[in-house]
Structure 1
Amino acid sequence: MNKIVLLDAKTLGSDLDLTCFERFGQVTIYPFTRPEQVLERSAGCNVVICNKVVFAEREMRALPQLELICVTATGTNNIDLRAAARLGIAVCNIKGYSTESVAQHTFAMLFYLLEHSRYYDEYVKSGAYTGDEIFTHFARTFHELSALRWGIVGLGAIGRRVAQLAALFGAQVMYYSTTGLNASGEGEYTRVDKETLLRESDILSIHAPLTEQTKDFLRYEEMCQMKPTAILLNLGRGGIVREADLAKALEERRIAAAGLDVLEQEPIQAENPLLRIQDSDRLLITPHIAWASIEARNRMTGEIMQNMESYFAGGRRNRVDG
């Protein structure tokens, strides 16, 4: 019988039914696993399911029965893929499960900032609206999307979905290819260079992975090239936007506002300079939840099961220790 361990079930949410994995064997589930607990909890298991738990060559060599690692995410940066290949350990990740969820969260963050939702809600609830002279209030202005230019960094599945939705609102969509190779959006959307993207975007949303090309993609110098009315949204990865520089740019009003769902270190560190900015009209931070709709997480577990089924149906690998 297969022995399966899920090392960080808490990262999937407590409302999911994880008994589905029992069809493949005996399952042990841990809500959270620290680095020093990995070997003990994975001992004797031939399948490991994890999200953020690190498996380097050391861990793999210490687990001679391990033959399959199922990563409950698209990114596999926590797994030493070269070591896994050398040792004959299969690694499966999942793709496409969160596209709709992240696209939706992008617009949720945008509208909150664009239409000054917090300010107007507090204006009413404070009692100020009760004693106003007219039926409306114009203290904070906003624009229709059809009057704005939306720049996108990363025209993968999520970036393309955001582009489609932005276009439905009438926004003029343009994109920047971080590798210089992506021409998939040409004909539908305008591909521009980085300088044009920064200079002309009213909304700049990031949906790219963290790579050598995207690390520190937006620093203070680049933010100073943006419109002072621009809204920046990062739903890609922390590290693409240099956070200390963003705090400075917001404090100096180099840009109007920013919405972040990802950070360089998660959970956020107490010394993060962004915590200086308490004005939620100008900075909105959510705790890496854009991917986490119930539907997306159910798709995630379904894809993990498909990966396991394909692996066992396709013939198992032999370990190559040595």
Structure 2
Amino acid sequence: MKERIVILDAGSVGDDCTWPDFARLGEVTRYEISSTRDVVERAKNATMLLTNKVYLPKEILEALPHLRYVGCISTGYNQVDLPTAAAHGITVCNVPAYSTASVMQHTFALILDLASKITMHVNAVEQGQWEKSPQFCFWLQPAVELAGKTLGVVGFGDTGSAVARMGHAFGMNVLAYAPRPKPLPEYTPFAFVGLEELFAQSDVVTLHCPSTPESKEMVNAALLSRMKPSAFIVNTARGDLIQERDLRTALEQGTIAGAGLDVVSKEPMPAHHILHGAPNCLITPHVAWSSVEARNRLLHGVFTNICNFLAGAPTNVVK
């Protein structure tokens, strides 16, 4: 039987990547963007479905009788109802670790911006504030050296451990929280600690864990209140890890010194979002993963997963 492959949101990967030759594997129908309400009609005959951010809940999966494979164009797979997929014999595969270097780089870009006040001072220069200074230099807030400070990494998978190594390279002490045991890295100082201790001891907390029922909004007023008033929090993982109203309050009240976010709970970020205009809050539009190198690795991984599935040896199957 010829495979019928439907790509639901090819546009999410951009138009500057080299797409593998999916047509070698079957009949391909490609959509640049789809909404959940489009899926049943567009995929009614599909045997394989590729999705980045289009949700496939129970009622949609059950309405696609020919479907036997879902390929996530992502590392995350919470867009797919896994119990329903398993019940109907649908294999679901993701692409882990394709964006580790890019997300690590972006995480430290946010950390460095918060510490060195880059965006703040670029904007001040553009607004003409430097030219009014009686001194040769000018600053609104002093920079903070990272060397000797403590980096707290929540989640110690590929990305979390890469960020920790970079923190060590900057001369930071590293703490990490991992819900399951992990090997100790080769460098020191390093320690695995509990979540509350990590928040209390760290000068920078950075989140690198998946969104699960247990982790949703885990960063709330109680955890934020444990942080140093000079500390920063960074999130390049999933927006719903943070209770955003509590974060806004913490920023307004000076409970913490700043936040750097690449993700929020609703994306694209709406105009009325609670964090719009929050003080000392840097927000980028979910781009940490999106270097052209990472996106090319992602598409290659999606293609390889399908090839392996068709060969009877599926890889990166999510449970």
User: TM > 0.5 between the two?
Assistant: yes
Question: Are 2:235 and 2:262, in contact at CA under 8 Å, matched by a contact in 1?
Answer: yes
State the 1:19 CA deviation. 5.7
- 1:284 equivalent to 2:282? Answer yes
State the 1:94 CA deviation. 0.9
Name the counterpart of 1:45: 46
Deviates more, 1:83-92 or 1:24-33: 83-92
Deviates more, 1:127-136 or 1:296-305: 127-136
SS of structure 2 residue aligned to 1:140: coil
One-letter amino acid matched to 1:24: L
One-letter amino acid matched to 1:206: L
Question: Are 2:20 and 2:300, in contact at CA under 8 Å, matched by a contact in 1?
Answer: no
Determine the C-alpha separation between the residues in 2 that align with 1:44 and 1:292.
31
Distance of aligned partners of 1:97 and 1:200 in 2 relative to their CA distance in 1, 3 Å threshold: same
State the 1:65 CA deviation. 1.9
One-letter amino acid matched to 1:303: G
Deviates more, 1:133-142 or 1:7-16: 133-142
Question: Are 1:155 and 1:185, in contact at CA under 8 Å, matched by a contact in 2?
Answer: no
Question: Equivalent pairs: percent with the same residue?
Answer: 36
SS of structure 2 residue aligned to 1:221: helix
Name the counterpart of 1:208: 209
Name the counterpart of 2:258: 257
One-letter amino acid matched to 1:59: I
Determine the C-alpha separation between the residues in 1 that align with 2:41 and 2:19.
22
Q: How many equivalent residue pairs?
A: 311
Q: Which runs of 5+ in 1 are unaligned?
A: 317-322
Name the counterpart of 1:320: none
One-letter amino acid matched to 2:43: S
Distance of aligned partners of 1:301 and 1:273 in 2 relative to their CA distance in 1, 3 Å threshold: same
State the 1:60 CA deviation. 2.8
- Taking structure 2 as the reference length, what is the TM-score of the superposition? 0.91
SS of structure 2 residue aligned to 1:190: strand
Determine the C-alpha separation between the residues in 1 that align with 2:79 and 2:15.
23
One-letter amino acid matched to 1:301: L
Q: Which runs of 5+ in 2 are unaligned?
A: 315-319
Distance of aligned partners of 1:266 and 1:125 in 2 relative to their CA distance in 1, 3 Å threshold: closer
Aligned positions of 1:124-203 closer than 5 A:
124-130=125-131, 132-177=133-178, 179=179, 181-185=180-184, 188=187, 189-203=190-204
State the 1:62 CA deviation. 2.5
Determine the C-alpha separation between the residues in 1 that align with 2:213 and 2:42.
34
Q: Deviations over 1:37-89 (max 9, x none)?
A: 11111122211111122223432332222221111112222222222222222
One-letter amino acid matched to 1:218: V
State the 1:187 CA deviation. 6.3
Distance of aligned partners of 1:306 and 1:111 in 2 relative to their CA distance in 1, 3 Å threshold: same
Name the counterpart of 1:310: 308
Determine the C-alpha separation between the residues in 2 that align with 1:132 and 1:18.
52
SS of structure 1 residue aligned to 2:239: coil
Determine the C-alpha separation between the residues in 2 that align with 1:90 and 1:193.
35
Name the counterpart of 2:317: none
CA RMSD of aligned residues (A): 2.0
SS of structure 1 residue aligned to 2:78: coil
Distance of aligned partners of 1:271 and 1:122 in 2 relative to their CA distance in 1, 3 Å threshold: closer
Question: Are 1:216 and 1:242, in contact at CA under 8 Å, matched by a contact in 2?
Answer: yes
Determine the C-alpha separation between the residues in 2 that align with 1:131 and 1:265.
40
Distance of aligned partners of 1:130 and 1:315 in 2 relative to their CA distance in 1, 3 Å threshold: closer
One-letter amino acid matched to 1:165: M
Aligned positions of 1:80-119 closer than 5 A:
80-119=81-120
State the 1:138 CA deviation. 4.5
Question: Are 2:115 and 2:145, in contact at CA under 8 Å, matched by a contact in 1?
Answer: no
Question: Are 1:71 and 1:94, in contact at CA under 8 Å, matched by a contact in 2?
Answer: yes
- 1:293 equivalent to 2:291? Answer yes
